[in-house]
Every structure is written in structure tokens, then in C-alpha cells.
Amino acid sequence: MHEYIRWSLGEEKISFWDDVWLGANSFQSLCVPGNDPPQSQAVVSYWHEHAWDEDMLHSLTFRFGVPLDVIDQIRATPIELGAKDVRRWSLTSHGEFSVTSTWENIRTRLPKREIFCLIWNQGLTPTMSVFIWRLLFGRLPVDEKLQRRGIELASRCQCCRSPSVESLSHVTHHLHVLVLAGGITPTHWRGCSPSVDFMPFSPRQRVLRSLMVLWHPPDAPWMKLNTDGAFSTSTLAAGEGGLVRDSDGGLLRAFCAPIAASSSFEAELLALIRGLEMAMELSTHIWIELDSAALISLLSAGHLGSTEFRHHMALIWTMTAQRHVRFSKIYREGNRAADFLAGRGVQTPAPTYFDPISAPWYMKALVRMDQLGYPNFHFRRRDMG
């Protein structure tokens, strides 16, 4: 299972050439065949005064044929000073090892059928799940089946008798509830021949429920950093944007920039990193507010997250180590200024920074509305009936 281990760099002695600490493969695989690197060298061998040794890194190109763009990736890989190397597990979304992820990786998989997810879940007891499974696939020892097989009812033992009317009604009721809730539709019966009839029902009505969202300024000496990332799954174009405001809600600085990202989540991470670089020049008390619930959850827990983004997260922790930092979640409707800048970043050819005078007029208007306490509204659908 060594191939599923990734490393986040601290100050220990993992192997520079054999351990996977850059990307998804060992560094040795990047060398030109025939150039055998020294196996015993640790990552710290390429550091000088707690930073990457530029001369040693560039020598890798001439000695072992390492591409220059890989050298740039190494230089951008953060080192968590004073911390140990952290082992990450690539088979889980949170980067922590689990027996379940290992089993899922090695087991033989059959085509997934959604009906089984509905039958085998925590909402039903194991007895009920087994009963429903046998009912749908014709495995219940009901009288008709037994008689077709030539088994006399009088000769059956008590444990083989047909299910009672009460138990069958109980299971049918739960199936009916799943249908009413929209959890089971006709497509889920594909491959089955259930003989269970349900009464006609009216579809559940869904109504909109509004929630007022307000942006709140920080208390002095805090400054609030709002960032956002934009990513298009169709064009793969991505952008980032963010702004820093003071305790009066006034704009201090803002930015927008195009970025290379593989997902919306990575775009959010990159936006936060650039935003922190900007905010750290202005204050040591930084309140980070984002509309990404997943990222806020990760930051609040103090985790490195998945192996794919471990270096991004390590860089964020390194940047915030000497600052007073707090995190909060806000709905996208309350993060409109950062959202506007992220969208603008997709269309911008190069990173652009703004001050209160040079900022786009539309962003100034959004900032002013937040400053005056104008509400935005987040709408959620709620089932009725």
C-alpha cells in the first residue's frame, strides 16, 4: 500500500527520491532513464537555512534530467518549519487512513444498483432490510411458492411459515414512505419484479423559504478577508478574487486573477492563499470568511485534507501560524463582492489589484451595500405535505 501514501513536508528525513511528496509519484520517476540518483538522500539535503537550496535544485536538471517546470514545483512546495513530516492517505477525501478505503480499493466490484442503497441503510433495521430484499427478489417462503415446490403446509416447521400480515404490512408501509418521499422511483425497480402495489399519491409540494443574509464588519483591530474561486467545468477556465475590509466595512484592498485549477475547491484554496498574502501586509488579526462550507470545515478542524491539496493546506497553515486568525461561513449571497471579483478573474489576463479608488464601480456598490447593512436573501426549498 506504499503507493497510496503521500507526504506533506516538515523537518524530518523522508527520502527525496523514493517517497511521494511532490505530485502523485516518487521523484525518481521524473529522472531521465539511466541517471541513477543517490538513494540515501533525504529531503532536508536540499534545504539551506530552512528554505530550498536554489543551486542544488537547479543542479538536478543537469545531473538527472529533471524538467525545469518540476524544479519550479519544488520551489513552490511549502515546508512547515518546526513540524514533522505528515503522512497522508490518497484513498480518502480527508487524507486520513481508513480500513474501509483500503477494502474498497482491493475488493472486486459489481455494477452498483441504487435499489440496494435504499434497502441497506441506517434508517432500517437489519431484519427489515433482509425482509425487503427477500420480498423484492422473490425469496420469501410464502405459501404459494412452497406449494409450487410440492411442500405441504402442514409439514412445515414454525420458522418456515409465511410472514404474518402485520409484518408484511409494516414493510409495505416503509416502502410506501420511501416512494412518497421520492426516495424510490420506477427506475429503482429495474431488474426486479416486485408484486407490491401502492396506493396512488399526490406529489409533495415544494415551496421556497427565504433566509436573510447580512455581511458584518469585524471589530477592531480585526480585518475581514472575503475570497472566492470560480471554475467552469465546460471550459476548465478558473479565476480567483477577494477583498479586505476594515472595522467600518470600508475597502482596503482587493484582487482578481486568472488561475490554473482542477476544480472549484482548488480555485477556492488558491483564492484564499492569494488573499492571505494580501491581508498579511495589512494586519496580524485576520478574519477569514468564505462561502465554501467544505473549506471552512477543513480550516476549522485544522486538517490538511486530501492528498491532492495537502501542499495548498500546508501553505495556508504556514502563512497563518504567526497571525491571529478566525474562520466563518457565509452564504454566497452575502459574499457577492468576492464572487464578482472571482468571475472577473476568469476574464482578466493577469493578476490585478485594486484600492478604494481604482476598484470597479460595481464592486464599490456591493461594498457600500454591505457597509450600510443592506440584506441579501438566500432561498431554500422546503417540502410540504
* pLDDT value at residue 199: 39
Question: 272, 241, 271, 273: which is closest to 352 by C-alpha?
Answer: 241
Helix, strand or coil, per DSSP, at residue 10: coil
Q: How far is CA 120 from the centre of its chain?
A: 25
pLDDT value at 85 more than 90: no
Q: What is the mean pLDDT of the chain?
A: 80
Three cell numbers written together for 92 = 480518502
* pLDDT value at residue 36: 66
Write the pLDDT tens digit of every residue in 225-248. 999 999 999 999 999 999 999 999
More confident call, 94 vs 285: 285
pLDDT value at 13 more than 80: no
Write the pLDDT tens digit of every residue in 113-140. 777 777 777 667 788 788 877 777 767 6
pTM for the model stands at: 0.66
Write the pLDDT tens digit of every residue in 151-194. 554 444 444 444 454 555 666 666 666 666 666 666 655 555 55
Distance set, CA 323 to CA 22, 315, 316, 320 (Å)? 27, 14, 11, 5
Three cell numbers written together for 217 = 464588519
| Beta strand ranges found along the chain (DSSP E) | 5-8, 86-89, 205-213, 223-231, 238-245, 251-259, 285-290, 324-329, 352-354, 376-384
Domains belonging to the chain, first-starting first, are 2-90 (no CATH), 114-201 (no CATH), 223-384 (3.30.420.10)
* pLDDT value at residue 349: 95
Query: Is 219 exposed, middle or buried, given 0-12, 13-18 or 19+ CB atoms closer than 10 A?
Result: exposed
Taking the alpha carbons at both ends of the chain, their separation in whole angstroms is 51
Write the pLDDT tens digit of every residue in 264-289. 999 999 999 999 999 999 999 999 99
Q: CB under 8 Å to 250, separation ≥6 — which residues?
A: 356, 367, 371
pLDDT value at 290 more than 70: yes
Q: What percent of the chain has pLDDT over 90?
A: 37
Number of neighbouring beta carbons within 10 Å of residue 211: 12
More confident call, 262 vs 175: 262
